[in-house]
Amino acid sequence: MKTVKRSQMLGKQQDLKSFETRLFERLRALKQQNRTPETQEDVDGVEIALKRLGWGNYKFCMKCWGEIEDVRLEEDPTRMTCGGCASKGPQGREPGG
């Protein structure tokens, strides 16, 4: 039955929805701050993450196409690589790393 599939889909969507909400909140907070190169960079990161959500590849690593660990996205919803790629990436610009 189609309805079963649909509710499974909604479960997944719900999952992404919480990240989307956080991203929007972050974007709004950033736009209230004074514009500096750092905040601009953050705004860019959030906007890219929101685009990736729209494209449906939000949870996939940009480098290896593996799935990005939920923990990493919980920590920073703008992350675009999985833990493995982030630790060996040449331009691993990880906050707090």
User: Can you give the binding site for Zn ion, defined by CB under 5 A?
Assistant: 61, 63-64, 66, 82, 85
Q: Please, what is the minimum distance in Å from the beta carbon of residue 81 to Zn ion?
A: 5
How many other CB atoms sit within 10 Å of the CB of residue 86? 19
Nearer to Zn ion, 30 or 60 (CB): 60
Are residues 30 and 43 in contact, defined by beta-carbon separation less than 8 angstroms? yes
Q: Please, what is the minimum distance in Å from the beta carbon of residue 66 to Zn ion?
A: 5
Are residues 52 and 44 in contact, defined by beta-carbon separation less than 8 angstroms? no
Exposure string for 59-69, b = 16+ CB within 10 A, e = fewer: bbbeeeeeebb
Nearer to Zn ion, 50 or 82 (CB): 82
Q: Please, what is the minimum distance in Å from the beta carbon of residue 65 to Zn ion?
A: 7
Nearer to Zn ion, 30 or 83 (CB): 83
30 - beta bridge partners? none
